[in-house]
Structure 1
Amino acid sequence: MTSISIAATDGSGSFDALLVTPKTQPAGAVVLIQEIFGVNSAMRALSEWVADMGFIALTPDLFWRQKPGVVLEPDQGQAQWEQAFAYMNGFDQEKGLADLAAAIATARQLSGANGKVGTMGFCLGGRMAVKTAIGTDAECHVSYYGVGLDGLLAEKPSFRAPLLMHIAEKDKFVPAEAQAKILSAVAGDPMVSAHVYPGVDHAFARMGGHSWDARAAAIANGRTAEFLTRYLG
């Protein structure tokens, strides 16, 4: 586990990205997209998991334009949550999308990379994974309990690569009405596979979190592993 620097495409500076490499190379790369808590212990663990599956894991610091190196932990009290929501509200998603495009381009050229790149995001990152499926040239995308997707998908955008969506049935941030709009928007789209996990809440796949559900996480993560293997080799 190490850190690399990526130049922003708008010339405003550079940002760090956590890099974890698999034992076997060449390998496909996965750009991991953080929750609202920054590149914290959960994202570091996910990076290790992706590398253990045989992919290069690259996790950029998306909040760097506000404050580089944000690390917040959701289990450490209300103050951490308030800071996280403040960073989310201050996050420029279009500049974030450009930073993710830069991370994707960097991932293609990493030592040991086979040139194929996917994205995988959680919560805010789940939303940004859908935006990368619309606005970047990555080979595939995975969205875990993305927020605000009903508005994003309302105009039925065209997806440039396959997208796998994991939706929590009891997501307190994505109510049933919003979920219905999301599913309606992607229904019949050959680029999109959407799965709803019964009885689980937002962040059900964050191991050790308050909504952790081992069964749903295992099913979702198995689908993710098959999906990434199919498109990234």
Structure 2
Amino acid sequence: MSETISIDTIDGSGSFQAYVAHPEGRPRAAIIVIQEIFGVNPGIRRKCDDWAAKGYLSLAPDLFWRLEPGIQLDPDVPEQFQQALGLMGKFNQDAGIRDIEATIKRARALLGDGGKVGVVGFCLGGRLAFMTATRTDSDASVGYYGVGIDNLLGEKHGIAHPVLLHIPQADHFVDPQIQAAMHAGLDDHPKVTLFDYPGEDHGFADTFGKRRSDESAKLADGRTAEFFARNLS
């Protein structure tokens, strides 16, 4: 079962919508799915549905609500891709993290039993997943092809719970020097695991569409499922 709910901001200044997918029976935990620059589109909603099928309560907050509430864009349509880039340029990431924190709090309330909450994000969401790990009480965080994480390494001391990052080595948004900086800064962190995907580009784990690379997507998603099963139980 799925529904859309309203979540109040941390500071009480407004509210935003979140897509929620419910599992059958008692949830094993909750997972927040953090959008790409394309909004809570069909691909993100499908990821929520897939986590619900695995027994997790899953929520995808509309992080662009201050800019274009309810926006849904297709990365395979050039004009919409450019529109998404424009939204990313205007997006306040610090406010986005506070909205993710509010979603985590709502998820904990919905679980009602002190259950654990993880986050998984893609592209912009991959970056936000890392920031969520350093700034909130999320119990486990996964980032797919996060952009600009090398600029966030100064926050790594804030990581208290496990983090998993998926790094496509042919990512045209994250060059080899940035990837090397990520490894240099995080390989020795006891809470962080990095997986590299040779030959893969940004968006390789898209739910569907031209960017998806099926074999590597399934490998990464399997690792994510194992990570959450281990750290959210």
What TM-score do the two structures reach when normalised by structure 2? 0.96
Task: Return the offset for 1:209.
Answer: 2.5
Q: How far, CA to CA, are the matches of 1:90 and 1:23 in structure 2?
A: 38
Task: Return the offset for 1:210.
Answer: 2.2
Aligned to 1:21: 22
Aligned to 2:94: 94
Query: Which 5+ residue runs of structure 1 have no aligned equivalent?
Result: none
Partner letter of residue 185 of structure 2?
A
Q: How far, CA to CA, are the matches of 1:7 and 1:27 in structure 2?
A: 25
Measured on the aligned residues, the alpha-carbon RMSD in Å equals 1.4
Aligned to 2:63: 62
Label 1:215 to 1:114 Cα distance change in 2 as closer, same or farther (>3 A).
farther
Aligned to 1:123: 123
Task: Return the offset for 1:232.
Answer: 1.4
Decide whether the 8 Å contact of 2:21 with 2:52 is kept in 1: yes
Residues 103-138 of structure 1, C-alpha deviation per residue, up to 9 Å, x if partnerless? 000000115765210000000000000000000001
Aligned to 1:145: 145
Label 1:155 to 1:62 Cα distance change in 2 as closer, same or farther (>3 A).
closer
Label 1:87 to 1:23 Cα distance change in 2 as closer, same or farther (>3 A).
same
Decide whether the 8 Å contact of 2:133 with 2:140 is kept in 1: yes
Q: How far, CA to CA, are the matches of 1:23 and 1:231 in structure 2?
A: 21
Q: How far, CA to CA, are the matches of 1:33 and 1:208 in structure 2?
A: 17
2:53 corresponds to 1:38? no
Q: How far, CA to CA, are the matches of 1:132 and 1:219 in structure 2?
A: 24
Partner letter of residue 84 of structure 2?
A
Partner letter of residue 204 of structure 2?
F
2:187 corresponds to 1:181? no
- Please give the secondary structure, in 1, of the residue aligned with 2:87: helix
Partner letter of residue 28 of structure 1?
A
* Map 1:151-170 → 2, pairs under 5 A: 151-154=151-154, 156-170=156-170
Task: Return the offset for 1:30.
Answer: 0.4
Task: Return the offset for 1:11.
Answer: 2.2
Query: Which 5+ residue runs of structure 2 have no aligned equivalent?
Result: none
- Bigger drift between 33-42 and 215-224 goes to 215-224
Label 1:131 to 1:189 Cα distance change in 2 as closer, same or farther (>3 A).
same
Q: How far, CA to CA, are the matches of 1:52 and 1:187 in structure 2?
A: 33
Q: How far, CA to CA, are the matches of 1:114 and 1:168 in structure 2?
A: 35
- Bigger drift between 4-13 and 170-179 goes to 4-13
Task: Return the offset for 1:26.
Answer: 3.5
2:175 corresponds to 1:207? no
Q: How far, CA to CA, are the matches of 1:100 and 1:155 in structure 2?
A: 17
Aligned to 1:85: 85
Partner letter of residue 91 of structure 1?
F
Partner letter of residue 118 of structure 1?
G
Decide whether the 8 Å contact of 2:134 with 2:156 is kept in 1: no
Aligned to 1:196: 196
Residues 73-94 of structure 1, C-alpha deviation per residue, up to 9 Å, x if partnerless? 112x221011101111111011
- Please give the secondary structure, in 1, of the residue aligned with 2:146: coil
Q: Percent identity?
A: 46
2:202 corresponds to 1:216? no
Partner letter of residue 67 of structure 2?
Q
Q: How far, CA to CA, are the matches of 1:140 and 1:180 in structure 2?
A: 23
Label 1:210 to 1:157 Cα distance change in 2 as closer, same or farther (>3 A).
farther
Aligned to 1:72: 73
Number of residue pairs matched?
232
- Please give the secondary structure, in 2, of the residue aligned with 1:65: coil
Q: How far, CA to CA, are the matches of 1:204 and 1:113 in structure 2?
A: 36
Task: Return the offset for 1:189.
Answer: 0.6
What TM-score do the two structures reach when normalised by structure 1? 0.96
- Please give the secondary structure, in 1, of the residue aligned with 2:117: strand
